Chain A
């Protein structure tokens, strides 16, 4: 059988999650831009567009459940639907973090500049690159790339520690910068969490390809 009914639906599901992935990636990238360039209009746009991402999540949920209920997928088809259903809320949460960064930007942008943004753009770039690669790895079902990305999460964790210490010192040395520094600390934490979520996506990519659970692998 060349064309199965399920193929058409799986193609739609694939398109939808890639769109969601693109929107999420763009949200993270623009949220950081709004901070670095002190562009509050852009920050508001990011917050506004979060509703679209929530809507996309709902549509993917609906379609995944419909395919499970009506098409009874098995083997690779089943793993694909399960992976999409599990990756979707992760993307939505990443977008929520982008929204939180944009909210922080709205506050920080009206405060005096407390720190030159050197580490933040690097951290943000690593996070968005990882996210883009994770989505590529999902599309190509590339387990090796996924495993490499998981390793990269350590880079973000290191940056986070560095930024954390710097900001802490700044708060001690210059109490008037405390508000701005505290919000920047949150931004760093959001980026660190995004790295963790990308790692989760990569673990699901490996499941999709190999039917292997590498998350919590010490428990298996």
Chain B
């Protein structure tokens, strides 16, 4: 399978403090990759380098290459808005806008300057809600406030909002950490479902979530990539002693 993302020798600094050391890895297209590791290990920072979300931090500095579809996203002249349309993101805390369910999903389409007719917009919103496995639950109340939805529904709404602009890669930063087991299961099923059309990178503290949904797992420690392997290998017979200690809770 072709690699969608290729990272080579990536180093990342917050001012003088180095947060990521020489990370290299490749993400095949239409696979789910899980990033695991203890708090502060750099997994979220690394996730955010994949769509340049760290650009918003004034003291942040990146060295190394992140190639997506053959193009270095840190090359001068890169259209960051287009990049983030292509590489969407879902955060730990669902963050719907104080608008209706419909407008939340339509928002991305509108601000991205995708000109569509009313019918076309309706169709896109409906498709995104379908793809996020939320349509059946909200179809009769599209014009009510998004805040009326449950936590799990709000998170799926945020996924629908990300899908509406037709990205190719979706970055998820602990998307289910604030959800109950049933809502978590729905998000996990959704991730596996979305793999058919998208490449997904998911940061999670939940080891079983990583083992359930991902094809490959990357383990980070103190800003370094310790091991990157097929998930079934990682959870049955990891190559690195540190990985074994972390996934078996022997760490400390």
Residues on A lying within 8 angstroms of B by beta carbon are: 1-2, 4, 6, 72-79, 210-211
Contact = CB atoms under 8 A, between A and B. Distances in A.
A31 B111 CA distance: 83
B247 A74 contact: yes
A75 B251 contact: no
A75 B244 contact: yes
Given A74-B247, A76-B244, A1 B252 contact: yes
Nearest to B208: A72
Contact of A1 (B235, B236, B251): B251
Contact of B207 (A74, A77, A79): A74
A1 B238 contact: no
Given A4-B249, A211-B237, 5 more contacts: A2-B252, A4-B248, A4-B250, A72-B207, A75-B238
Interface in B197-252: 207-208, 211, 235-238, 243-244, 247-252
A74 B249 CA distance: 9
Contacts of B237: 75, 79, 210-211
Contacts of A2: 252
B242 to A, nearest CB: 12
Interface of B: 207-208, 211, 235-238, 243-244, 247-252
A73 B236 contact: no
Contacts of B243: 75
A1 B207 CA distance: 17
B250 A74 contact: no
A68 to B, nearest CB: 13
A211 B248 contact: no
Contacts of B235: 74-75, 78
A150 B27 CA distance: 42
B248 A77 contact: yes
Contacts of A73: 248
A75 B252 contact: no
Nearest to A210: B237
From B235, B238, B250, residue with most partner A Cβ within 10 Å: B250
A196 B238 CA distance: 31
Contacts of B236: 74-75, 78-79, 211
Contacts of A211: 236-237
Contacts of B248: 4, 6, 73-77
B217 to A, nearest CB: 11
A76 B238 CA distance: 9
Contacts of A74: 207, 211, 235-236, 247-248
Nearest to B235: A74
Contacts of A79: 236-237
A64 B48 CA distance: 41
A78 to B, nearest CB: 6
From B207, B211, B244, B249, residue with most partner A Cβ within 10 Å: B249
From A1, A75, A78, residue with most partner B Cβ within 10 Å: A75
Contacts of B207: 72, 74
7 contacts: A1-B249, A2-B252, A6-B249, A74-B247, A75-B243, A75-B244, A76-B248
Contacts of B208: 72
A7 B252 CA distance: 15
Contacts of A210: 237
Contacts of B247: 74-75
